[in-house]
Amino acid sequence: MGGDIRRFGTFTGVFVPTVLSIFGVILFLRSGWVVGHAGLLHAIIILLVSELITIITALSISSISTNMKVGVGGVYYLISRSLGVEAGGAIGIPLYLSQAISVAFYVLGFTESIMWLFPGIKEMHLALIVLTIFTVVAYVGADLAVKLQVSIFILLILSILSFLIPGPFLPLAENLKPHYTPQVDFWHVFAVFFPAVTGITAGISMSGELRDPAKNIPKGTLLAIGFTALVYLLVFVKVSAIAPHEELVSNMLILMEKSPFPYLVYAGIWSATLSSALTFIVGAPRTLQALAKDGVVPRILAHPLGSRKDEPRLGVIITYLIASVFVSMGTLNTVATIITMFFLLTYAAINFSAGISSLAGKPFYIPEFRVHHFVSLTGAVATFWIMHVISPVAAPISLAIIVAIYLWLERKSIEQTWGDMRNGIWFSLARFALLRLEGARDSDRFWRPNIMVFSGNPDNRHYLIEMASWLGKGEGIVTLFNVLEGQPRQLIGTREEVYRNLKEFIRQKGIGAFAEVEIVKSFDEALPVIAQAHGLGKLSSNTALFGFPSKGERARRIMEIIDELCILKKDSMILKYDPASGYGDFSSIVIWAGKSRNTELMLFLSRILLLNFDWQESRITVLVSSPDDEEAEESRRKLTETALSLKVPASIRTIISPADPPADILREYAGGASLILFPLECDVETIFDIAELNRSILFVRSCSDKELKIQ
């Protein structure tokens, strides 16, 4: 692929197309109407408010574009590289369609103005001829289009000067004040005028072909806004001086009638419509090309069809076909407002991108053109407000379309090769929340298990991950650990591979968990250290979950480790999963009452289990063994109070048994339980006796001081 792709500067690449997009039929056909209704003073206020929002958006564009190397795609490129491919595509797809439809909109505007002078011409035929000519220009390449734009720009400036130079500039007294009607108030006039100052993204559409986008875009866009604002102001003052307000409101052709060179003003209208059509038929295919290169739409749509300068020729043809359909419809009144909404949503997205990037992007967001985040975010809010003012109906419809496309792209899971600001946003929010949490007063009322799951290879211990995932419903933090024994020098490559596999396992299973892989010399010695170090501030891990050891000696060592964890105020759980029975039909949870602290934690964990779909219909039964009726009644009373305080719908069952081992009692009274919770407050032999039951059992030991009762 050859040719000088980046070949346009500030004037030809940004300033001219931006000015041509801003100057449209509203300048020539609605300026008198605006001043006639709003009066000169209110018209100037409308102009200033509109320009303020446009300037803020331009500042945001300048900020983003001076922080990165800008590629093909204009606005889509800026948003996708700031907020991700999903957000960029959600804006980019409607933006491209709006740009393609706008080609038809302005071509029809041109042909309608021709009909004023030559009513015998067939409008549809003329529109298709003009569209075809402009398509050929765009297909040949941007060089020819830019040269044509410069010629149109000169003609447009001459037509404006032909109206401004002669005649008085002293406003009529009656035109200083507004003349609103019940049907037309300030905001109605504002809504009619505001689309006149949009179009500042036209120059950005050429971003991939600018010699220095970081300088060309800010300079060209801001100069174009300042120039067009001055022209609109002069036109408002001039029309206020040429006729009374009644004539300004009723006569849409007053600029032509009051000009000594009316045909030159006609040429200005033609220049405005044709230049806008040319700008969009050149810019729209480049938006489509960028969308295709990123895989948002089929990549074939970016095909240059033999262009040595990577011109989006297939995109030009597709844009022509779309525009032809709407030209054939003959009118765009039904979609004109939606087009405006999509352009305004683009402005809002640009401002939001710049604001969030400035707020959360440090130290990687260091633009040459700095704008405070408050300015950009205010611009985003103001743009949404403008949308509502213009059309309370079209605004939510267009927003719903954007959201639907975003969700579709999110499900499509497009792999992007660049970083964006989303990680920075989440990091900043997490940092802010952690610091606020660290400064907050401790409260056991909001205690939840932050679980370290020593799962090893998760494929071999899926039941541990499943249990941790259920307990994670209590809004705790779950971390899956794979601990490798050996030397870091020998195992660092293995660690990276194991970490990737663990992350992929979490992703495929849809588990809300983190992955952690550690290299240690000795698992038994390192585990208490890991438990102390893992976590951050008040989000430190407070609970460890182990699988049930298969050998007696290993079980004794695990119990010793749990004793060490208990000294460190870390709770522990051991899950003995029965592969034959699994969890049965999830119909019942049986808790063996032990010491008060353990029983409270087991009841609390059972309440978390009920939050899961699998367990939500389960019955919770607390079994307590007592030597006589009196002690049994006292145990029932205390356990009932505890269950009520924890809001656990548990039934209490007392068993009079002075000496029967717990295993025998559970075998008789909990033989059909889906899950048994048993306190780790006995010797290893008793634990192995309990584990002999053909049931899944969660052994629990509470070691931290916490008040779990609901206040």
For residue 116, pLDDT beyond 80: no
Q: Which of 426, 350, 415, 407 is nearest to 384 (CA)?
A: 350
Q: Are residues 66 and 205 in the same domain?
A: yes
CATH of the domain at 552: 3.40.50.620
Q: Are residues 586 and 545 in the same domain?
A: no
CA distances to 47, 147, 170, 387 from 404, in Å? 34, 39, 52, 19
Q: Are residues 602 and 558 in the same domain?
A: no
- Taking residues 169-187, report their average pLDDT: 91
Rounded Cα gap, residues 108 and 128, in angstroms: 9
The count of structural domains within the chain is 3
Residue 472 DSSP one-character state? G
The strand pair at 543-547 and 571-576 is best described as: parallel
- Taking residues 645-667, report their average pLDDT: 87
Residue 78 included in any domain: yes
Residue 548 DSSP one-character state? P
Domain boundary among 556, 574, 592: 574
- Taking residues 256-266, report their average pLDDT: 86
Q: Tokens 């389960």 sit at which residue? A: 618
Task: Give the residues across from 483 on adjacent strands.
Answer: 518
CA distances to 564, 584, 607, 613 from 617, in Å? 37, 13, 12, 8
- Of 285 and 432, the one with more pLDDT: 285
Rounded Cα gap, residues 648 and 228, in angstroms: 69
Q: Model confidence at 244, in pLDDT bands (50, 70, 90)?
A: very high
Residue 682 included in any domain: yes
Residue 419 included in any domain: no
Q: Are residues 347 and 479 in the same domain?
A: no
| Domain of 687, in residue numbers | 578-711
- Predicted local confidence at residue 53, as pLDDT: 92
For residue 710, pLDDT beyond 70: no
Extract the tokens encoding 711. Answer: 């206040």
For residue 711, pLDDT beyond 50: no
Burial classification of residue 239, based on how many CB atoms lie within 10 Å of its CB (0-12 exposed, 13-18 middle, 19 or more buried): buried
Q: Are residues 231 and 244 in the same domain?
A: yes
For residue 2, pLDDT beyond 50: no
Confirm whether pTM is higher than 0.95.
no
Q: Are residues 557 and 583 in the same domain?
A: no
- Taking residues 546-572, report their average pLDDT: 87
Q: Are residues 194 and 343 in the same domain?
A: yes
Q: What tens digit of pLDDT does each residue of 375-421 get? A: 999 999 999 999 988 888 888 988 999 999 989 988 887 776 666 66
Which stretch, 18-27, 370-379, 410-419, 699-708, has highest mean pLDDT?
Answer: 370-379
CATH of the domain at 190: 1.20.1740.10
Domain boundary among 551, 574, 597: 574
Q: Tokens 């063994």 sit at which residue? A: 625
Which stretch, 19-33, 435-449, 609-623, has highest mean pLDDT?
Answer: 609-623
- Predicted local confidence at residue 1, as pLDDT: 42
Rounded Cα gap, residues 61 and 81, in angstroms: 13
- Predicted local confidence at residue 441, as pLDDT: 64
Please state which of the ranges 6-10, 146-150, 219-223, 231-235 shows the lowest mean pLDDT.
Answer: 6-10
- Predicted local confidence at residue 113, as pLDDT: 80
- What DSSP letter does each residue of 439-470 carry, written as one string? HSPP-GGG----EEEE-SSTTT-HHHHHHHHH
Q: Are residues 569 and 587 in the same domain?
A: no
Residues 290, 92: contact at Cβ < 8 Å? yes
Rounded Cα gap, residues 256 and 258, in angstroms: 6
Q: Model confidence at 437, in pLDDT bands (50, 70, 90)?
A: confident
Q: Model confidence at 42, in pLDDT bands (50, 70, 90)?
A: very high
- What DSSP letter does each residue of 310-347 carry, written as one string? ---HHHHHHHHHHHHHHHHH---HHHHHHHHHHHHHHH
Q: Are residues 403 and 472 in the same domain?
A: no
Residues 278, 323: contact at Cβ < 8 Å? no
Q: Are residues 113 and 135 in the same domain?
A: yes
Report H helices in 544-670. 552-567, 596-609, 629-645, 662-669
- Taking residues 331-356, report their average pLDDT: 79
Residue 422 included in any domain: no
Residue 539 included in any domain: yes
| Phi, psi (rounded to 5 degrees) for 522 | -145, 125
Neighbours of 126 (CB within 10 A): 18
Residue 212 included in any domain: yes
Q: Are residues 647 and 709 in the same domain?
A: yes
Rounded Cα gap, residues 217 and 282, in angstroms: 17
Residue 5 included in any domain: no
CB neighbour list of residue 385: distance below 8 Å, 6 or more residues apart = none
Q: Model confidence at 603, in pLDDT bands (50, 70, 90)?
A: very high
Rounded Cα gap, residues 176 and 30, in angstroms: 17
Q: Model confidence at 334, in pLDDT bands (50, 70, 90)?
A: low
- Predicted local confidence at residue 550, as pLDDT: 76
Residue 377 included in any domain: yes
In Å, how far from its chain's centre is CA 465? Answer: 30
Residues 35, 240: contact at Cβ < 8 Å? yes
Sheet holding 478-485, edge to edge: 514-520, 478-485, 451-454, 543-547, 571-576, 697-701, 675-679, 588-592, 619-626, 650-656
Q: Which of 186, 163, 152, 179 is nearest to 28 (CA)?
A: 163
Q: Model confidence at 192, in pLDDT bands (50, 70, 90)?
A: confident
Percentage of the chain exceeding pLDDT 70: 94
For residue 139, pLDDT beyond 60: yes
For residue 583, pLDDT beyond 90: yes
pLDDT mean across residues, the chain: 86
- Taking residues 63-82, report their average pLDDT: 82
- Of 514 and 308, the one with more pLDDT: 514
Extract the tokens encoding 255. Answer: 């600029």
Domain boundary among 359, 387, 412: 412
Burial classification of residue 115, based on how many CB atoms lie within 10 Å of its CB (0-12 exposed, 13-18 middle, 19 or more buried): middle
- Taking residues 300-308, report their average pLDDT: 88
- Predicted local confidence at residue 619, as pLDDT: 95
Please state which of the ranges 75-89, 107-121, 373-387, 466-480 shows the lowest mean pLDDT.
Answer: 107-121
Q: Are residues 585 and 565 in the same domain?
A: no
